[in-house]
Amino acid sequence: MQLEALNVGFGYRKNNWTFRHIDLSLRKGEIVGLVGPSGAGKTTLGRILAGYEQPLEGTVKLNDAPLPKTGYHPVQLVFQHPEKAVNPKWRMKDILHEGWNPDDELLERLGIDRDWLQRWPNELSGGELQRFCVARALGPMTQFLIADEMTTMLDAITQAQIWQAVLDMAKKQNMGILVISHEAPLLDRLCSRIIDISSNVMREG
């Protein structure tokens, strides 16, 4: 079972490509890194893989079938900026339970205070919001997680705490993870393969 990008290209005009001819595969249980210079399209590719954007050419397949268009999406994306991923008119408990109901153990491991559940998004810091976004993405039906600079805004101790919780959940659910990051030490520590989007070259992590 795998998530695949096959000859994917994206641009706002066909003569102005952001990237072209991208082939990428992510198997369940695998952790793969995605790197590249600013503007190379890492975030856009992550959005395409999660179904938020459509490629201008090529296809994305999940287990040899098109991405689903309804229901809980098996490919979850955690954005770098969590404020763009939450409804400001919903309390945090409603945002968290949009996809599933995480247990107290996961909330504790992600550093989520239960008192925060009654708050509005503007009453939390960016780092606190991101913890909710991570928890929301780790539902039991998630097969693949796209982590786009997921912990960049957090301090080193919190980064380690969140990544350990994510890795434990991924192992438990045999979840595949694509880690989009410019932090080489993080990628080298987590990933078995690293793909450079600017050259579509894979190297061992």
Report pLDDT digits (tens) over 5-46.
999 999 987 678 999 999 999 999 999 999 999 889 999 999
- pLDDT in the model for residue 200: 64
CA 98 from centroid of its chain's CA atoms: 17
Residue pLDDT, tens place only, 150-184: 998 888 999 999 999 999 999 999 999 999 999 99
What does the domain layout of the chain look like in residue ranges? 2-204
User: What pLDDT, on a 0 to 100 scale, did the predictor assign at position 98?
Assistant: 86
pLDDT for 30 = 97
Q: Which CATH number fits domain 2-204: 3.40.50.2300, 3.90.79.10, 3.30.750.200, 3.40.50.300?
A: 3.40.50.300
Q: Which of 2-11, 14-23, 122-131, 188-197 has the lowest mean pLDDT?
A: 14-23
Q: Are strands 176-180 and 31-35 parallel, antiparallel or unpaired?
A: parallel
**pLDDT exceeds cutoff 90 at 86:** yes
pLDDT digits (tens, 9 = 90+) for 129-148: 999 999 999 999 999 999 99
Residue in 166, 144, 181 with CA at minimum distance from that of residue 25: 144
Question: Average pLDDT over the chain, rounded to whole?
Answer: 93
Residue 129, H or E segment: helix 126-137
Contact (CB, 8 A) for 59 and 6? yes
Residue 204 has pLDDT above 90, yes or no: no
Alpha carbon distance 101, 104 (integer Å): 9
Residues whose CB falls within 8 Å of the CB of residue 37, separated by 6 or more in sequence, listed in order: 198
Give the predicted TM-score (pTM) of the model: 0.93
